[in-house]
Amino acid sequence: MSEKLSTQPYKGTRDFYPAEMRLRNWFFGVIRTVLEGAAFEEYNGPMLESLDLYAAKSGEELAEKQTYHFMDKGNRHLAIRPEMTPTVARMVAAKMNDLAFPLKWFSIPNMYRYEATQRGRLREFWQLNVDIFGCETYEADLECILTAIRLLRAFGADETMFTVRINNRRFFNDAIRAITEKDEEGCRLISKVIDRKNKVPREVYEKELTELGLSSGQIAKIDGLYSMSVEEAAALCPESTGAQELLGLFEALRALKLDRYCVFDFGIIRGLDYYTGTVFEVFDNAPENNRAMFGGGRYDNLVGLFVKNAKVSGVGFGMGDVTLENFLFTHKLVPESFGKEAKLLITRFEDVNTETYFALSGKLADCGIVNAVYLGSAKKFGKQIDYAVKAGFTHLLVMGATELAAGAVKIKDLAARTETEVSVGADLNCAELAKLLKS
Protein backbone atom coordinates (compact mmCIF):
# COMPACT_ATOMS: atom_id res chain seq x y z
CA MET A 1 0.00 0.00 0.00
CA SER A 2 1.74 3.19 -1.16
CA GLU A 3 -0.88 5.75 0.03
CA LYS A 4 -0.63 6.81 3.65
CA LEU A 5 -3.59 6.31 5.97
CA SER A 6 -5.57 9.41 6.92
CA THR A 7 -4.87 11.05 10.28
CA GLN A 8 -8.47 12.35 10.40
CA PRO A 9 -11.00 10.64 12.70
CA TYR A 10 -14.15 9.12 11.16
CA LYS A 11 -16.69 11.74 10.05
CA GLY A 12 -18.69 13.16 12.95
CA THR A 13 -16.32 11.80 15.63
CA ARG A 14 -13.65 13.73 17.49
CA ASP A 15 -10.15 13.11 18.79
CA PHE A 16 -9.85 14.44 22.30
CA TYR A 17 -6.31 15.78 22.62
CA PRO A 18 -5.38 16.75 26.21
CA ALA A 19 -6.75 20.32 25.87
CA GLU A 20 -10.17 19.05 24.73
CA MET A 21 -10.13 16.27 27.30
CA ARG A 22 -9.39 18.78 30.08
CA LEU A 23 -12.36 20.90 29.03
CA ARG A 24 -14.70 17.91 28.89
CA ASN A 25 -13.52 16.61 32.26
CA TRP A 26 -14.08 20.06 33.74
CA PHE A 27 -17.70 20.35 32.62
CA PHE A 28 -18.50 16.73 33.48
CA GLY A 29 -17.00 17.48 36.93
CA VAL A 30 -19.36 20.44 37.40
CA ILE A 31 -22.29 18.24 36.32
CA ARG A 32 -21.34 15.40 38.70
CA THR A 33 -21.05 17.82 41.63
CA VAL A 34 -24.55 19.23 41.00
CA LEU A 35 -26.17 15.82 40.55
CA GLU A 36 -24.44 14.04 43.43
CA GLY A 37 -25.41 17.01 45.61
CA ALA A 38 -29.04 16.23 44.80
CA ALA A 39 -28.58 12.51 45.64
CA PHE A 40 -28.59 11.26 42.02
CA GLU A 41 -26.43 8.13 41.68
CA GLU A 42 -24.22 7.33 38.70
CA TYR A 43 -24.65 4.12 36.67
CA ASN A 44 -23.41 2.84 33.30
CA GLY A 45 -24.31 0.11 30.82
CA PRO A 46 -22.90 -1.56 27.71
CA MET A 47 -22.22 0.16 24.42
CA LEU A 48 -23.80 -2.76 22.50
CA GLU A 49 -27.44 -3.75 22.92
CA SER A 50 -29.87 -5.91 21.01
CA LEU A 51 -31.35 -3.87 18.12
CA ASP A 52 -34.84 -4.85 19.34
CA LEU A 53 -34.42 -2.52 22.29
CA TYR A 54 -34.60 0.52 20.01
CA ALA A 55 -36.95 -0.94 17.40
CA ALA A 56 -39.62 -1.25 20.11
CA LYS A 57 -40.06 2.35 21.22
CA SER A 58 -37.39 4.79 20.08
CA GLY A 59 -39.25 5.82 16.95
CA GLU A 60 -38.43 5.07 13.33
CA GLU A 61 -36.04 7.97 12.73
CA LEU A 62 -33.66 6.92 15.51
CA ALA A 63 -34.10 3.15 15.29
CA GLU A 64 -34.17 2.73 11.51
CA LYS A 65 -32.25 5.64 10.06
CA GLN A 66 -29.71 6.65 12.68
CA THR A 67 -28.69 3.48 14.52
CA TYR A 68 -25.43 1.73 13.61
CA HIS A 69 -26.20 -1.97 13.65
CA PHE A 70 -24.63 -5.28 12.60
CA MET A 71 -24.90 -9.05 13.03
CA ASP A 72 -22.40 -10.60 15.44
CA LYS A 73 -20.71 -13.94 14.76
CA GLY A 74 -23.53 -15.72 16.58
CA ASN A 75 -26.13 -14.11 14.28
CA ARG A 76 -27.42 -11.70 16.92
CA HIS A 77 -28.62 -8.37 15.55
CA LEU A 78 -26.82 -5.76 17.64
CA ALA A 79 -26.89 -1.97 17.80
CA ILE A 80 -24.29 0.51 19.00
CA ARG A 81 -26.33 2.52 21.49
CA PRO A 82 -27.87 5.65 19.93
CA GLU A 83 -29.41 6.60 23.30
CA MET A 84 -29.39 5.40 26.90
CA THR A 85 -33.07 5.33 27.92
CA PRO A 86 -33.85 1.75 26.72
CA THR A 87 -30.68 0.52 28.49
CA VAL A 88 -31.56 2.15 31.79
CA ALA A 89 -35.15 0.87 31.54
CA ARG A 90 -33.76 -2.64 30.95
CA MET A 91 -31.41 -2.32 33.95
CA VAL A 92 -34.24 -1.11 36.20
CA ALA A 93 -36.52 -3.91 34.97
CA ALA A 94 -33.83 -6.54 35.71
CA LYS A 95 -33.54 -5.53 39.39
CA MET A 96 -37.01 -4.15 39.95
CA ASN A 97 -37.57 -6.04 43.17
CA ASP A 98 -34.29 -4.94 44.78
CA LEU A 99 -34.23 -1.24 43.92
CA ALA A 100 -35.54 1.55 46.17
CA PHE A 101 -38.09 3.65 44.30
CA PRO A 102 -38.23 6.51 43.52
CA LEU A 103 -34.84 5.96 41.99
CA LYS A 104 -32.66 8.91 40.95
CA TRP A 105 -29.91 7.91 38.53
CA PHE A 106 -27.55 9.59 36.07
CA SER A 107 -24.96 8.54 33.51
CA ILE A 108 -22.65 10.24 30.98
CA PRO A 109 -22.15 7.64 28.21
CA ASN A 110 -20.94 8.15 24.66
CA MET A 111 -23.31 7.17 21.88
CA TYR A 112 -23.47 6.98 18.11
CA ARG A 113 -26.03 8.21 15.59
CA TYR A 114 -25.68 8.14 11.81
CA GLU A 115 -26.61 11.82 11.36
CA ALA A 116 -25.99 14.52 8.78
CA THR A 117 -23.28 16.30 10.78
CA GLN A 118 -23.86 19.99 11.52
CA ARG A 119 -23.27 22.51 14.31
CA GLY A 120 -24.46 20.82 17.52
CA ARG A 121 -24.97 17.39 15.92
CA LEU A 122 -22.23 14.79 15.43
CA ARG A 123 -22.09 11.02 14.98
CA GLU A 124 -20.36 10.31 18.28
CA PHE A 125 -21.27 12.41 21.29
CA TRP A 126 -21.46 12.15 25.05
CA GLN A 127 -24.87 12.58 26.61
CA LEU A 128 -25.74 13.23 30.21
CA ASN A 129 -28.81 11.16 31.12
CA VAL A 130 -30.77 12.03 34.23
CA ASP A 131 -33.76 9.82 35.06
CA ILE A 132 -36.17 9.28 37.94
CA PHE A 133 -38.06 5.98 38.11
CA GLY A 134 -41.07 5.06 40.22
CA CYS A 135 -42.71 8.43 40.79
CA GLU A 136 -46.09 8.69 39.07
CA THR A 137 -46.81 12.29 39.98
CA TYR A 138 -45.64 15.70 38.80
CA GLU A 139 -42.92 16.01 41.47
CA ALA A 140 -40.48 13.96 39.36
CA ASP A 141 -41.23 16.05 36.23
CA LEU A 142 -40.61 19.15 38.34
CA GLU A 143 -37.36 17.79 39.73
CA CYS A 144 -36.07 16.95 36.22
CA ILE A 145 -36.82 20.43 34.94
CA LEU A 146 -35.33 22.16 37.95
CA THR A 147 -32.25 19.93 37.73
CA ALA A 148 -31.76 20.97 34.09
CA ILE A 149 -31.98 24.62 35.16
CA ARG A 150 -29.66 24.05 38.10
CA LEU A 151 -27.06 22.43 35.85
CA LEU A 152 -26.91 25.43 33.54
CA ARG A 153 -26.89 27.86 36.48
CA ALA A 154 -23.92 25.96 37.96
CA PHE A 155 -21.94 27.16 34.93
CA GLY A 156 -23.04 30.76 35.58
CA ALA A 157 -25.88 30.85 33.01
CA ASP A 158 -28.95 33.04 33.61
CA GLU A 159 -32.44 33.30 32.13
CA THR A 160 -31.31 35.51 29.24
CA MET A 161 -29.17 32.66 27.90
CA PHE A 162 -31.55 29.68 27.70
CA THR A 163 -35.24 28.72 27.66
CA VAL A 164 -36.98 25.54 28.81
CA ARG A 165 -39.85 24.79 26.40
CA ILE A 166 -42.51 22.53 27.91
CA ASN A 167 -45.47 20.60 26.50
CA ASN A 168 -47.40 17.46 27.41
CA ARG A 169 -48.07 14.51 25.09
CA ARG A 170 -51.45 13.71 26.68
CA PHE A 171 -52.52 17.33 26.27
CA PHE A 172 -51.16 17.43 22.72
CA ASN A 173 -53.19 14.38 21.69
CA ASP A 174 -56.36 15.70 23.36
CA ALA A 175 -56.00 19.12 21.69
CA ILE A 176 -55.28 17.65 18.24
CA ARG A 177 -58.20 15.21 18.63
CA ALA A 178 -60.50 18.10 19.59
CA ILE A 179 -59.42 20.13 16.53
CA THR A 180 -59.21 17.36 13.91
CA GLU A 181 -61.33 14.46 15.29
CA LYS A 182 -58.51 12.08 14.30
CA ASP A 183 -57.90 8.73 16.01
CA GLU A 184 -54.69 7.83 17.90
CA GLU A 185 -52.74 6.92 14.75
CA GLY A 186 -53.94 10.10 13.02
CA CYS A 187 -52.73 12.19 15.96
CA ARG A 188 -49.36 10.38 15.88
CA LEU A 189 -48.87 11.19 12.21
CA ILE A 190 -49.76 14.85 12.81
CA SER A 191 -47.30 14.95 15.73
CA LYS A 192 -44.50 13.83 13.38
CA VAL A 193 -45.21 16.77 11.05
CA ILE A 194 -45.40 19.26 13.93
CA ASP A 195 -42.14 17.85 15.34
CA ARG A 196 -40.40 18.81 12.07
CA LYS A 197 -42.09 22.21 11.82
CA ASN A 198 -39.00 24.31 12.46
CA LYS A 199 -36.80 22.18 10.23
CA VAL A 200 -38.81 22.52 6.99
CA PRO A 201 -40.24 25.51 5.05
CA ARG A 202 -43.79 26.59 5.99
CA GLU A 203 -45.21 25.34 2.63
CA VAL A 204 -43.88 21.83 3.28
CA TYR A 205 -45.40 21.85 6.78
CA GLU A 206 -48.82 22.93 5.44
CA LYS A 207 -48.67 20.47 2.53
CA GLU A 208 -47.92 17.55 4.87
CA LEU A 209 -50.80 18.45 7.20
CA THR A 210 -53.14 18.87 4.20
CA GLU A 211 -52.11 15.42 2.95
CA LEU A 212 -53.14 14.05 6.35
CA GLY A 213 -56.63 15.47 5.71
CA LEU A 214 -56.46 18.73 7.69
CA SER A 215 -58.37 21.77 6.40
CA SER A 216 -56.83 25.26 6.37
CA GLY A 217 -59.16 26.15 9.27
CA GLN A 218 -57.79 23.27 11.33
CA ILE A 219 -54.20 24.22 10.46
CA ALA A 220 -54.98 27.81 11.58
CA LYS A 221 -56.41 26.52 14.89
CA ILE A 222 -53.17 24.57 15.52
CA ASP A 223 -51.19 27.74 14.63
CA GLY A 224 -53.14 29.57 17.33
CA LEU A 225 -51.87 27.11 19.95
CA TYR A 226 -48.21 27.94 19.25
CA SER A 227 -48.54 31.42 20.74
CA MET A 228 -50.89 30.62 23.64
CA SER A 229 -50.03 30.74 27.33
CA VAL A 230 -50.45 27.48 29.21
CA GLU A 231 -53.73 28.74 30.76
CA GLU A 232 -55.19 29.73 27.37
CA ALA A 233 -54.21 26.38 25.84
CA ALA A 234 -55.49 24.31 28.79
CA ALA A 235 -58.84 26.14 28.63
CA LEU A 236 -59.40 24.59 25.17
CA CYS A 237 -59.54 21.07 26.68
CA PRO A 238 -60.31 21.56 30.36
CA GLU A 239 -61.14 17.84 30.80
CA SER A 240 -57.72 16.73 29.55
CA THR A 241 -55.49 15.05 32.18
CA GLY A 242 -52.53 16.47 30.25
CA ALA A 243 -53.92 19.99 30.61
CA GLN A 244 -54.23 19.50 34.37
CA GLU A 245 -50.67 18.14 34.52
CA LEU A 246 -49.38 21.16 32.62
CA LEU A 247 -51.22 23.62 34.86
CA GLY A 248 -49.93 21.89 38.02
CA LEU A 249 -46.36 21.86 36.74
CA PHE A 250 -46.39 25.54 35.79
CA GLU A 251 -47.91 26.48 39.14
CA ALA A 252 -45.04 24.71 40.94
CA LEU A 253 -42.47 26.35 38.64
CA ARG A 254 -43.99 29.76 39.43
CA ALA A 255 -43.93 29.07 43.18
CA LEU A 256 -40.23 28.20 42.90
CA LYS A 257 -39.62 31.34 40.78
CA LEU A 258 -38.35 29.12 37.98
CA ASP A 259 -41.03 30.27 35.52
CA ARG A 260 -38.64 32.94 34.27
CA TYR A 261 -36.69 30.15 32.55
CA CYS A 262 -39.73 28.29 31.19
CA VAL A 263 -42.43 28.67 28.52
CA PHE A 264 -45.30 26.51 27.35
CA ASP A 265 -44.67 25.49 23.72
CA PHE A 266 -47.24 23.40 21.84
CA GLY A 267 -44.60 22.69 19.16
CA ILE A 268 -42.46 20.56 21.51
CA ILE A 269 -43.29 16.94 20.67
CA ARG A 270 -39.96 15.03 20.97
CA GLY A 271 -39.17 12.59 18.18
CA LEU A 272 -38.99 9.52 20.42
CA ASP A 273 -42.14 7.41 20.62
CA TYR A 274 -41.96 6.40 24.27
CA TYR A 275 -42.93 9.72 25.87
CA THR A 276 -46.44 9.78 27.31
CA GLY A 277 -46.80 12.90 29.49
CA THR A 278 -44.66 16.01 30.11
CA VAL A 279 -42.10 16.66 27.36
CA PHE A 280 -39.51 19.43 27.35
CA GLU A 281 -36.47 20.76 25.55
CA VAL A 282 -33.94 23.36 26.61
CA PHE A 283 -32.80 25.82 23.95
CA ASP A 284 -29.82 28.12 23.86
CA ASN A 285 -31.17 31.64 23.22
CA ALA A 286 -28.17 32.45 20.97
CA PRO A 287 -29.46 32.13 17.39
CA GLU A 288 -26.27 30.46 16.11
CA ASN A 289 -26.90 27.46 18.44
CA ASN A 290 -30.39 26.66 17.25
CA ARG A 291 -30.43 22.92 18.10
CA ALA A 292 -31.97 21.68 21.37
CA MET A 293 -29.42 21.34 24.18
CA PHE A 294 -31.53 19.06 26.41
CA GLY A 295 -34.53 16.91 25.60
CA GLY A 296 -36.65 14.74 27.82
CA GLY A 297 -39.96 13.84 29.32
CA ARG A 298 -42.14 11.29 31.04
CA TYR A 299 -42.39 7.74 29.71
CA ASP A 300 -44.86 5.60 31.57
CA ASN A 301 -44.36 2.19 30.02
CA LEU A 302 -40.75 1.43 29.04
CA VAL A 303 -39.99 -0.89 31.95
CA GLY A 304 -43.11 -2.82 30.92
CA LEU A 305 -41.26 -3.86 27.72
CA PHE A 306 -39.17 -6.21 29.85
CA VAL A 307 -41.42 -7.32 32.70
CA LYS A 308 -45.05 -8.36 32.22
CA ASN A 309 -47.54 -6.09 34.01
CA ALA A 310 -44.71 -3.98 35.46
CA LYS A 311 -45.76 -0.49 36.46
CA VAL A 312 -42.65 1.63 36.90
CA SER A 313 -42.90 5.00 35.24
CA GLY A 314 -39.86 7.07 34.35
CA VAL A 315 -39.09 10.68 33.61
CA GLY A 316 -35.76 12.12 32.55
CA PHE A 317 -33.69 14.02 30.03
CA GLY A 318 -30.58 13.82 27.89
CA MET A 319 -28.09 16.64 27.35
CA GLY A 320 -25.33 16.43 24.75
CA ASP A 321 -21.74 17.57 25.28
CA VAL A 322 -21.53 19.23 21.84
CA THR A 323 -24.36 21.71 22.38
CA LEU A 324 -23.26 22.34 25.98
CA GLU A 325 -19.75 23.21 24.79
CA ASN A 326 -21.15 25.59 22.13
CA PHE A 327 -23.36 27.17 24.81
CA LEU A 328 -20.48 27.66 27.26
CA PHE A 329 -18.22 29.28 24.67
CA THR A 330 -20.96 31.44 23.11
CA HIS A 331 -21.94 32.88 26.50
CA LYS A 332 -18.32 33.10 27.72
CA LEU A 333 -18.97 30.74 30.63
CA VAL A 334 -15.62 28.94 30.52
CA PRO A 335 -13.61 30.57 33.36
CA GLU A 336 -10.66 32.68 32.15
CA SER A 337 -8.37 30.90 34.59
CA PHE A 338 -9.33 27.55 33.02
CA GLY A 339 -6.25 25.51 32.07
CA LYS A 340 -3.87 28.10 33.51
CA GLU A 341 -3.20 26.38 36.85
CA ALA A 342 0.43 26.28 38.04
CA LYS A 343 2.42 23.43 36.48
CA LEU A 344 6.04 23.10 37.44
CA LEU A 345 8.94 21.58 35.51
CA ILE A 346 11.84 20.39 37.66
CA THR A 347 14.88 21.06 35.50
CA ARG A 348 17.89 18.80 35.87
CA PHE A 349 21.63 19.33 36.16
CA GLU A 350 24.35 16.74 35.78
CA ASP A 351 25.81 17.48 39.21
CA VAL A 352 22.68 16.30 41.09
CA ASN A 353 21.65 12.67 40.94
CA THR A 354 18.35 11.88 39.24
CA GLU A 355 16.82 10.19 42.30
CA THR A 356 17.02 13.46 44.27
CA TYR A 357 14.85 15.16 41.61
CA PHE A 358 12.28 12.36 41.72
CA ALA A 359 12.21 12.51 45.55
CA LEU A 360 11.52 16.27 45.33
CA SER A 361 8.85 15.68 42.68
CA GLY A 362 7.03 13.20 44.93
CA LYS A 363 7.07 15.64 47.86
CA LEU A 364 5.69 18.42 45.66
CA ALA A 365 2.92 16.15 44.41
CA ASP A 366 2.06 15.32 48.03
CA CYS A 367 1.62 19.07 48.60
CA GLY A 368 -0.81 19.23 45.64
CA ILE A 369 1.61 20.82 43.14
CA VAL A 370 1.35 19.53 39.57
CA ASN A 371 4.94 18.91 38.54
CA ALA A 372 7.25 16.74 36.46
CA VAL A 373 10.96 16.01 36.33
CA TYR A 374 12.49 16.86 32.92
CA LEU A 375 13.03 13.49 31.21
CA GLY A 376 15.49 14.47 28.47
CA SER A 377 19.23 14.98 28.76
CA ALA A 378 20.36 17.12 31.70
CA LYS A 379 23.12 18.64 29.56
CA LYS A 380 21.37 21.63 27.95
CA PHE A 381 19.34 24.02 30.11
CA GLY A 382 18.07 25.95 27.04
CA LYS A 383 16.41 22.83 25.67
CA GLN A 384 14.66 22.28 28.98
CA ILE A 385 13.23 25.82 28.91
CA ASP A 386 12.00 25.39 25.31
CA TYR A 387 10.28 22.17 26.28
CA ALA A 388 8.66 23.79 29.36
CA VAL A 389 7.20 26.62 27.27
CA LYS A 390 5.92 24.34 24.49
CA ALA A 391 4.41 21.83 26.93
CA GLY A 392 2.53 24.51 28.89
CA PHE A 393 4.52 24.54 32.14
CA THR A 394 4.06 27.80 34.05
CA HIS A 395 7.11 27.54 36.34
CA LEU A 396 10.61 26.08 36.37
CA LEU A 397 12.38 24.75 39.41
CA VAL A 398 16.14 25.15 39.29
CA MET A 399 18.23 23.04 41.65
CA GLY A 400 21.87 22.31 40.85
CA ALA A 401 24.48 21.07 43.34
CA THR A 402 25.05 24.62 44.67
CA GLU A 403 21.32 25.16 45.45
CA LEU A 404 21.03 21.68 46.93
CA ALA A 405 23.98 22.32 49.26
CA ALA A 406 22.43 25.66 50.33
CA GLY A 407 19.00 24.03 50.92
CA ALA A 408 17.25 26.56 48.64
CA VAL A 409 15.81 26.20 45.12
CA LYS A 410 15.00 28.85 42.51
CA ILE A 411 11.51 29.14 41.03
CA LYS A 412 11.17 30.88 37.68
CA ASP A 413 7.73 32.16 36.71
CA LEU A 414 7.74 31.80 32.92
CA ALA A 415 4.98 34.35 32.21
CA ALA A 416 6.07 37.05 34.68
CA ARG A 417 9.78 36.33 34.02
CA THR A 418 10.59 36.55 37.74
CA GLU A 419 12.81 34.40 39.90
CA THR A 420 12.24 33.63 43.59
CA GLU A 421 14.48 31.71 45.94
CA VAL A 422 12.70 29.34 48.31
CA SER A 423 14.17 27.41 51.20
CA VAL A 424 13.65 23.63 51.22
CA GLY A 425 16.32 22.64 53.77
CA ALA A 426 18.33 19.44 53.63
CA ASP A 427 15.20 17.28 53.80
CA LEU A 428 13.55 18.92 50.71
CA ASN A 429 10.60 20.34 52.66
CA CYS A 430 8.15 21.68 50.06
CA ALA A 431 5.67 23.56 52.27
CA GLU A 432 7.05 27.05 51.41
CA LEU A 433 7.26 26.14 47.75
CA ALA A 434 3.67 24.93 47.66
CA LYS A 435 2.52 28.18 49.31
CA LEU A 436 4.28 30.26 46.65
CA LEU A 437 2.89 28.25 43.72
CA LYS A 438 -0.66 28.23 45.03
CA SER A 439 -0.69 32.00 45.67
When the beta carbons of 322 and 411 are compared against ligand HAM, the nearer one is 322
When the beta carbons of 131 and 143 are compared against ligand HAM, the nearer one is 131
When the beta carbons of 83 and 208 are compared against ligand HAM, the nearer one is 83
Dist CA 294 CA 163 (whole Å): 10
Check: CB of residue 133 under 8 Å from CB of residue 105: yes
| Minimal distance, residue 273 CB to ligand HAM, in Å | 11
Check: CB of residue 361 under 8 Å from CB of residue 327: no
Residues 264, 295, 398, 411: which binds ligand HAM (CB under 6 A)? 295
Residue 432 to residues 50, 177, 342, 436: CA-CA distances in angstroms?
Answer: 58, 74, 15, 6
Dist CA 410 CA 423 (whole Å): 9
When the beta carbons of 254 and 311 are compared against ligand HAM, the nearer one is 311
Host H or E run for residue 250 = helix 241-255
Binding range to ligand HAM, per CB under 6 A, among 36-44, 287-295, 396-404, 409-417: 287-295
Best CA proximity match to 221, nearest among 244, 237, 199: 237
When the beta carbons of 246 and 269 are compared against ligand HAM, the nearer one is 269
Dist CA 110 CA 120 (whole Å): 15
Binding range to ligand HAM, per CB under 6 A, among 97-105, 223-231, 240-248, 318-326: 318-326
What is the residue-wise DSSP string for 193-216?
HHHTGGGS-HHHHHHHHHHTT--H
Q: Does 129 bind ligand HAM (CB under 6 A)?
A: yes
Check: CB of residue 123 under 8 Å from CB of residue 117: yes
Extract long-range pairs of 77-80: CB within 8 Å, 24+ residues apart: 77/50, 77/51, 77/52, 78/48, 78/49, 78/50, 78/51, 79/48, 79/49, 79/50, 79/51, 79/53, 79/54, 80/47, 80/48, 80/111, 80/112
Residues 164, 194, 258, 293: which binds ligand HAM (CB under 6 A)? 293
What is the residue-wise DSSP string for 256-297?
TT-GGGEEE-TT---S-TT--SEEEEEEESSTT--SEEEEEE
Strands (E), 91-189: 103-107, 110-112, 124-133, 162-168
| Minimal distance, residue 67 CB to ligand HAM, in Å | 12
Dist CA 106 CA 172 (whole Å): 28
Binding positions for ligand HAM, 330-359, rule CB under 6 A = none
Q: Does 164 bind ligand HAM (CB under 6 A)?
A: no
Residues 32, 121, 153, 177: which binds ligand HAM (CB under 6 A)? 121
Beta partners for residue 258, in sequence order: none
Q: Does 323 bind ligand HAM (CB under 6 A)?
A: yes
Q: Does 27 bind ligand HAM (CB under 6 A)?
A: no
Residue 7 to residues 14, 53, 123, 128, 427: CA-CA distances in angstroms?
Answer: 12, 35, 18, 29, 48
| Minimal distance, residue 138 CB to ligand HAM, in Å | 16
| Minimal distance, residue 130 CB to ligand HAM, in Å | 7
Dist CA 346 CA 383 (whole Å): 13
Q: Does 80 bind ligand HAM (CB under 6 A)?
A: no
| Minimal distance, residue 125 CB to ligand HAM, in Å | 4
Q: Does 328 bind ligand HAM (CB under 6 A)?
A: no
Best CA proximity match to 90, nearest among 147, 49, 36: 49
Check: CB of residue 262 under 8 Å from CB of residue 166: yes
Residues 102, 134, 242, 316: which binds ligand HAM (CB under 6 A)? 316
Binding range to ligand HAM, per CB under 6 A, among 13-21, 79-87, 97-105, 162-170: 79-87
Residues 87, 107, 127, 313: which binds ligand HAM (CB under 6 A)? 127
Residue partners of 380: CB distance under 8 A and separation at least 6: none
| Minimal distance, residue 316 CB to ligand HAM, in Å | 3
Q: Does 85 bind ligand HAM (CB under 6 A)?
A: yes
When the beta carbons of 91 and 344 are compared against ligand HAM, the nearer one is 91
Binding range to ligand HAM, per CB under 6 A, among 40-48, 127-135, 205-213, 382-390: 127-135
Q: Which residue's beta carbon is nearest to the bound ligand HAM?
A: 320
When the beta carbons of 280 and 357 are compared against ligand HAM, the nearer one is 280
When the beta carbons of 242 and 318 are compared against ligand HAM, the nearer one is 318
- The site for ligand HAM, by CB under 6 A, has a size of 24
Strand order through the sheet with 408-413: 371-373, 344-346, 395-398, 408-413, 418-423
Residues 79, 122, 152, 233: which binds ligand HAM (CB under 6 A)? 122
Binding positions for ligand HAM, 264-283, rule CB under 6 A = 272
Sites of contact with ligand HAM (CB under 6 A): 83-85, 113, 115, 121-122, 125, 127, 129, 131, 272, 292-296, 316-320, 322-323
